[in-house]
Structure 1
Amino acid sequence: MLARQRQELILEEVRRTGAVQVSDLVLRLGVSDMTIRRDLDALATRGLVEKVYGGATSKVGRSTDEPGFEVKSMRQLAEKEAIARLAAERVRPGTAIGLSAGTTTWTLARHLDDVADLTVVTNSVKVADVLQQRGRTDRTVILTGGVRTPSDALVGPVAVQTLRSLHLDVVFLGVHGVDARAGFTTPNLNESETNRVLAEAAERLVVLADHAKWSTVGISTIVGLEQADVLISDDGLPAEARQVLVERVADLAIAEVSDCEKAVSGQGSEL
């Protein structure tokens, strides 16, 4: 098979599923690991895919594009881990917290093992599964219910009604994009409404967003920048973004990502 034919097949698979892994393509196409990596490099150079650790995902484009959970979970792995660790330090024993759906909040859920006597409200089955599988008996997990979106959030009237009856100490909100004008956004209108109500239930709102979210704009604003008590991002956040956020957000916290972590996460030139 010619390189162009392989790349067309790879691109077709990315468009169909949202993401591909090098190991799967090696088996499917019967070529070497390096050949697949060169094909992905070529597609990325043409702007057709986004390289991530171990594979590639579809490019984020229009304001209504909504990547699935599996696609997003392959992006900015080291940054999400660093953000989650820093966020976990802000969770106090004996409190009631909210975790929105998303891969960064899902990562945070895996860092809460040492926090005792927590009540956690979430609109994500994946987040709830992580919390319940950790084996703690002093933890209450409340799942809102609702209609599932492509990004695995539970949204709609059932979720909104549940959240409107609750009062939480702090909510950790994952977002699709952060923008100086649009604020914190999502590509899903129903998810925007549900997350807005979740944010309103909190005494304090902590937004979790890696540097790649900056200048990304979804179709709907969840809340404005000024409504976040804390924004936790990573050290890849550009200087101009930091300047805007320091002026607009009460507390901008930056999680440090080591070079080793970035290398493991595939943030270098090679996958």
Structure 2
Amino acid sequence: MLAQQRQQAILERVRGSGGVRVADLVRELGVSDMTIRRDLEALAERGLVEKVHGGATVAGPGSTEEPGFAAKSARQQPEKEAIARRAARLVRPGTAIALSAGTTTWTLAHLLVDVPELTVITNSIRVADVFHRAPRADRTVVLTGGVRTPSDALVGPVAVAAVRGLHVDTLFLGVHGMSARAGFTTPNLLEAETNRELVASAHRLVVPADHTKWGTVGISTIAELAEAHVVITDSGLAEEARDELAAQVGELVVADAGEGNEARSR
């Protein structure tokens, strides 16, 4: 097992149980005490776990803590770009799409500016700005109103009212986290309500989410895993998590950030 795979397995164990002991990991993974401690040190340096005496516990934000857009945009950039490239292939000229707020959907927006005759519905100020900076006469962009969140989403009753009654071919849904237990989640209650309305408006739900989203749980569920027609993630996702997703979603696509190609499940 490669170090990256081992560390991902450790991280999933921490997120699943709330904490791990070095001795247990040594026995389960069949490596030395020093190797496990180096893995925990690497995870702690990335802010993914908190080292404690004899092991590690969950670190990072609680279920209601929401990082700002700038902080999130600096994370997993190669993975997000690979996911966005694969997601862009699902967009055909002359269709209506919705892009929720998020750094991965924002990355995707940059790849869609040259698609002709596109109608875009979004509650993301950042996404709308991407299209505004590359105008096309044959494109329509609808930006909902609403209350602005730390991640630059517009949410709340005004946003919900703007989306209600609309019908789009595909929604690309940015999520804070995804898990077998909680589904696709967000740390913002109002954003969850707005995103649920976006899900209801779409004929097809596509969730572009990098591997770090697995096991992260926000306070409110947007949709169950089984509601997604397509989930696009990256090759950093552990095999066990891939199997779980592939068993529940319509299609799982794994984009390789290093090589630019993809593997497909189910």
TM over 0.5: yes
Shift of 1:47: 5.0
Name the counterpart of 1:69.
69
Shift of 1:143: 0.3
CA distance in 1, matches of 2:137, 2:86: 24
Shift of 1:45: 3.9
Name the counterpart of 1:170.
170
Name the counterpart of 1:119.
119
CA distance in 2, matches of 1:148, 1:238: 34
| Matched position secondary structure for 2:222 | strand
Taking structure 1 as the reference length, what is the TM-score of the superposition? 0.74
TM alignment of 1:227-246, pairs within 5 A = 227-246=227-246
CA distance in 1, matches of 2:181, 2:167: 29
Name the counterpart of 1:252.
252
Name the counterpart of 2:133.
133
Identify if the C-alpha distance between structure 1 residues 123 and 61 changes in structure 2 by more than 3 Å, giving closer, same or farther.
same
Residues 129-164 of structure 1 show CA distances to partners (whole Å, capped at 9, x for unaligned) of 101211322110000110001111000000000111
Identify if the C-alpha distance between structure 1 residues 228 and 238 changes in structure 2 by more than 3 Å, giving closer, same or farther.
same
Does residue 1:155 correspond to 2:155, yes or no? yes
The residue identity in structure 1 corresponding to 2:186 is: T
CA distance in 1, matches of 2:153, 2:62: 20
CA distance in 2, matches of 1:43, 1:95: 42
Residues 55-74 of structure 1 show CA distances to partners (whole Å, capped at 9, x for unaligned) of xxxx6321111000011001
Residues 150-199 of structure 1 show CA distances to partners (whole Å, capped at 9, x for unaligned) of 11100000000011120001000000001011000000000000001001
Name the counterpart of 1:110.
110
Q: Is the 8 A contact 2:188 2:219 kept in 1?
A: yes
CA distance in 1, matches of 2:199, 2:223: 8
CA distance in 2, matches of 1:228, 1:155: 21
Gaps of 5+ in 2: 1-40, 51-58, 261-266
Name the counterpart of 2:99.
99
Shift of 1:42: 10
CA distance in 2, matches of 1:185, 1:141: 26
CA distance in 1, matches of 2:163, 2:144: 7
Taking structure 2 as the reference length, what is the TM-score of the superposition? 0.76
Name the counterpart of 1:223.
223
| Matched position secondary structure for 1:231 | strand
- In the alignment of these two chains, the number of paired residues is 212
Does residue 1:181 correspond to 2:178, yes or no? no
Name the counterpart of 1:82.
82
